Amino acid sequence: MTLFRDIKSKRLLHAKGFLFLLIGMLASGTILFESQNFRTAFLLAVAIWGFCRFYYYLFYVLENYIGRNQKYAGIWDAIRFIFKR
């Protein structure tokens, strides 16, 4: 068994996705609990929204509009594609 092989199980992929959601919620909740001001909450929301849009750009816009035949293995692969062009 290799440690870094692709996950094929749909259940494990869903579990991984929900773990990422849980990590994000716990981190955001901790930041808001420690700061407890509107400005921090607003900036956190804007940062999360911005990163989500960038992720969408990397894996949807690039793949479907710019690099039509190019598939990306991950974020660094997509960023390398952007700077090569």
Domain assignments of the chain as residue spans, ordered by start = 10-84
User: Model confidence at 36, in pLDDT bands (50, 70, 90)?
Assistant: very high
Lowest mean pLDDT among 55-59, 63-67, 75-79: 63-67
Question: Which residues contact residue 24 at a Cβ distance below 8 angstroms, ignoring those fewer than 6 apart?
Answer: 48
Whether 72 shows a pLDDT value over 80: the answer reads no
Angle in degrees, CA 28, 31, 34, rounded to 5: 145
For residue 83, what pLDDT is reported?
Answer: 84
User: Model confidence at 68, in pLDDT bands (50, 70, 90)?
Assistant: low
Interior/surface letters 14-38, b for 16+ CB within 10 angstroms, e for the rest? eeeeeeeeeeeeeeeeeeeeeeeee
